[in-house]
Structure 1
Amino acid sequence: MSEQKVFGMKAEQGRWMFVLLGLLMNICLGAVYAFSVFRGPLEKSIEEGGWAISATQSGLPFMVFLATFALFMALAGGLVGKWGPKKAALLGGTLVGVGWILSGFSSNIIWLTIFYGVIAGGGVGIIYGCPIAVSAKWFPDKKGLAVGLTVMGFGLSALVMVPIMTAMINNPAIGALGAFKYLGIVFLAILLLLSLPLRSPKEGWMPAGWSPKKDKSGGSLVDLDRKQMVKTGTFYALWGTYTIGCLAGLMAIGIAKPFGNEILQTAGYDVARMATLLTTMVSLFAIFNGIGRPIFGWLTDKLSPRNTAALSFALILAASALLYLWGASSPVLYFIAFSVLYLNLGGWLAIAPTATATFFGTKHYGKNYGLVFTSYGVGAILGMLLSGMIKDSTDAYLPVFLPVMGLAALGILISVLWLKPVKA
């Protein structure tokens, strides 16, 4: 069963190369998390080289990107099963690169939203699930850890990309639009190159000396297609908990800087010190977003998806309560709480794909996880709406964490009662 060779090595060793490929691919794909560095230059006046647009307008490409990303994950999920991971990744990688390159030729925010938000976002939606599906199939014994490491690059991408993007934008010979072009060329080359080796193991392959154990994985030996999956209560429990997890995490990403300003102003920090401290904190938050994926992936392997999900919501509840009750003027509590929220966003991007493979099998994984992933888009929209509405009505971000506490408690309840294996 284990005689396959991978990259010239025994499959048990060579399969780790697929994790590395996926991690590197996700560093390119996760560049969307650094989009904020483009917003300032685009908002500048025409005389200063910008488009003289509002903050709401400059955020359109990012919002459309996330929505298209989630939509294409659902629509194109079956491509991995039909074409195989390599061909699907080549298509997605091409769209990502072309979308970034065309963005550099945009003459206004509408064209940038189409090129970046729709074309590049759609490409990410197609390619994102390819290395995840490959890792899940090559690691039936360590699904959570392998998937978590694969997607870690997406969370860490901002750390890598922000300095590069900033340097390019600040270079008068390149600028914001030039940065889109050059990065698009680089992403296109890297993604196409890294897509070529992607392949799934032969059907039925298992690592030497390992056999599935129901009590250890928390799952049952089933392979459900999408139609069968949506007839189970487990699917709706997973979709609901994933929505709540993404809502809390993506909301934290969206308000990290303005809420941090709120906290530091209340604590009496001057403007210059605030800017330096917040920049450092947000960079550290990105690390927590990245490492949350392998940590919670490993925990999912060890504790089961249900117990790991409940633990995640307990942490979100504790972090939100800490902020709401005692954090109004405490930079230390702000840093601790937001580190936990970022950690758990990363965590859910490992818990959910691992749970999908564990509960519903890997045979139809691409199509199944594509549907599950729509909760990411819903969570992003609800999180932004919730934080925006509460800020508008109370003139503060702190009250946002009261409903988040309630949602986290609901997440614990759903996890414990309904997030369980499907009976074969």
Structure 2
Amino acid sequence: MAVPSFLARERIVARPGFNRWLIPPAALAVHLCIGQAYATSVYKTALVEHFDTSLTAIGIIFSIAIVMLGLSAALFGTWVDRNGPRAAMFTSAVFWVSGFLVGSLGIATEQLWLLYLGYGVLGGIGLGIGYISPVSTLIKWFPDRPGLATGMAIMGFGGGALIASPLSRQLMSFYDPDYVPTDAASVASGDAVAKLFLTLGVLYLLFMMFGAFLVRVPAADWRPEGFDPSTVKKKALVTTENVSANNAVRTPQFWLLWIVLFCNVTAGIGILEQASPMIQDFFRTGDGSLVAASAAAGFVGVLSLFNMGGRFIWSTTSDYIGRKPIYMVYLGVGIVLYLVLATLGSSATWIFVITAALIISFYGGGFATVPAYLRDLFGTFQVGAIHGRLLTAWAAAGVAGPLIINGVLDARGTPGQLVAGDYRPALFIMVGLLAVGFVANLLVKPVAAKWHESADAVEEFTHEHHTPERSAAR
């Protein structure tokens, strides 16, 4: 599928002297916007009352968006690699913003199916394309620090809720004077949420377009000053060869990483999905009282910080200790943390908060490290497309995680009357999942030479999209 000339890859080849540190802000401009997906709980109750439906019916919107994220990332990954980050970021912005506009119309007209179509389907496509749009570009700009590069960008997705949550509350209070954002019992009107969607759509369009028109790709022969590509051969599991996206999915390494990501994400989503009620249920007293709603909201904020920080800190750490060892930490230490949460989590608030925060930091770190892991195993040739196909694991986890924890809690009692013990079966299931992921990670080995692309095939692809004549047209 061709793109307009102003979006074409050859128009954004960086001139000599371009500062590569401008690329992470361009990526962040997109990821901070699409990271709003983690802030849907802010207006979930308002939508339940507006549509007079159940939490499950509203929660499906988020599940649709995550499924579409995985599917669109898989389907359009090769297109993103071929046409470059500007075309991908631009396309992502169009779909993401359209999702808000159609969703706003659905809320205003009380047509829930339009919200499914808008935020769920259209917005989910924007999520998928936007999520993978800067990945291969960042890795090519930072071949010396791929974990740092992807961590800088992908931490924006984890931190998007830190901006979107308070901003959404303030905007809803502006559109609905009766709504008090500091009162957990206060619920905004449907009209306020509809106007919120319109406002966010306009704001996100501006920021995402800024990122799209700032981003550049390096020239084919560019290298960071002082970087010697031959040094990567000295590191275990790191290849200087290249594997195409079509061949990557035929290797056992791809499917082992799919299992690793699925297990890590499913376990993390279990806590994120229930964060606010979970801390209240864990510390519910005999008379039915629980921790203050403000404390629960603060806990959600702490998780967002650790989700964002883990994406940067742990992925950067992986540049020094390696991708396979860092996933042994995510999964192995994660098992211990889940056991602590299940058995000791209700004994003290500080134990609960620290344990959950570390688990979520591993959840975020897993997302940020996996592009660099893929680059190590499959090379840079079509790493964006391979990453897109791997994100189908996220789509599956986005359904499995909530189903596991909600299914267990539904069988254990009534929301608002649950206690810490009711969560233990779900937490032990997460321990089992992390154990499966740990074993899968241990089995990862270097990719066999039979899957490597020939130098001629890579050169042909490169010349097709980076000829000097076409690059000169920028």
Both proteins in one fold, TM over 0.5: yes
Residues 101, 184 of structure 1: 8 Å contact kept = yes
Tell me whether 1:298 sits opposite 2:316 in the alignment.
Answer: yes
* Alpha-carbon distance in structure 2 between the residues aligned to 1:217 and 1:136: 18
Alignment of 1:232-251 (within 5 A): 232-251=251-270
Residues 125-144 of structure 1 mapped to structure 2, 5 A cutoff: 125-144=128-147
- With over 3 angstroms needed to count, the CA separation of the structure-2 counterparts of 1:165 and 1:89, relative to structure 1, is same
Distance verdict in 2 for CA 1:392–1:79, change over 3 Å: same
User: What is the count of residue pairs matched by the alignment?
Assistant: 411
2:423 to 386, 394, 397: 397
- Read off the aligned partner of 2:17 and give its amino acid letter: K
Query: Which residue number corresponds to residue 288 of structure 1?
Result: 306
Tell me which structure has the larger Cα radius of gyration.
Answer: 2
Deviation, 1:219, is 0.8
The one-letter code sitting in structure 2 at the alignment partner of 1:198 is V
Change (3 A) 1:268 1:203: farther
1:338/1:307 Cα in 2 relative to 1: closer, same or farther (>3 Å)?
same
Q: Is the CA contact 2:342–2:423 (under 8 Å) kept in the aligned structure 1? A: no
CA distance in 2, matches of 1:330, 1:214: 48
The offset of 1:133, in angstroms, is 2.0
State how far apart, in whole Å, the 2-side matches of 1:420 and 1:268 are. Answer: 55
In the alignment, structure 1 residue 319 sits paired with structure 2 residue 364: no
Q: Aligned with 1:76: secondary structure?
A: helix
Is the contact made by 1:42 and 1:58 (CA closer than 8 Å) also made in structure 2? yes
**CA spacing shift, 1:405–1:266, aligned 2, 3 Å:** farther
Which residue does 2:56 correspond to in 1?
56
Q: 1:126 to 1:267 in 2, by over 3 A?
A: farther
Structure 1 residues 267, 243: closer, same or farther in 2, change over 3 A? farther
Query: Partner residue of 2:159?
Result: 156
Q: C-alpha displacement at 1:10, in angstroms?
A: 3.4
In structure 2, the gaps of 5 or more residues are: 1-11, 177-190, 414-421, 450-474
CA deviation vs aligned residue, 1:250-279 (integer Å, no higher than 9, x gap):
1110121222121120487844x4212111
Secondary structure of the structure 1 residue equivalent to 2:77: coil
Q: Which runs of 5+ in 1 are unaligned?
A: 45-49
Q: Which residue of 1 aligns with 2:390?
A: 372
Contact 1:293 1:346 in 2 (8 A): yes
Q: What is the rounded CA distance, in whole Å, between the counterparts of 2:71 and 2:266 in structure 1?
A: 17
Identity percentage over the alignment?
Answer: 26
Query: What do the CA deviations read for 1:188-247 (whole angstroms, capped 9, x no partner)?
Result: 122122101323212243212112322336311121112211222211111110111111
Once residues 329 and 309 of structure 2 are traced to their aligned partners in structure 1, the CA distance between those partners, rounded to angstroms, is 16
Q: After superposing the two structures, state which structure 1 stretch, 254-263 or 176-185, moved more.
A: 254-263
Question: 1:98·1:188 contact (CA, 8 Å) conserved in 2?
Answer: no
SS of the counterpart of 2:214? coil
Q: How does 1:12-411 map to 2 (within 5 A)?
A: 14-44=19-49, 50-106=50-106, 107=109, 108-172=111-175, 175-212=192-229, 213-216=232-235, 218-266=237-285, 270-271=289-290, 273-395=291-413, 396-411=422-437
TM-score, normalised on structure 1? 0.92
1:216, 1:302 within 8 Å by CA — same for their partners in 2?
no
Tell me the CA shift for residue 9 of structure 1: 7.8
The residue type paired with residue 209 of structure 2 is L
Alpha-carbon distance in 1 for matches of 2:222, 2:446: 22
**Deviates most, 285-294 or 192-201:** 192-201
**Alpha-carbon spacing, 1:319–1:224, altered in 2? closer, same or farther (3 Å):** same
Q: Can you list the C-alpha shifts for 1:154-185, whole angstroms capped at 9, x where unaligned?
A: 11111111111011112236710000001101
RMSD of aligned alpha carbons: 2.0
Q: CA deviation at 1:6?
A: 8.9
CA contact (8 A) 1:257 1:282 kept: yes
Cα distance in structure 1, aligned partners of 2:17 and 2:336: 44
Does structure 2 conserve the Cα–Cα contact (< 8 Å) formed by 1:241 and 1:415? yes
Determine helix, strand or coil for the equivalent of 2:253.
helix
Distance 1:90 1:422, change over 3 A: same
Preserved CA contact (<8 Å) 1:101 1:185: no
Distance 2:83 2:379 in 1: 19
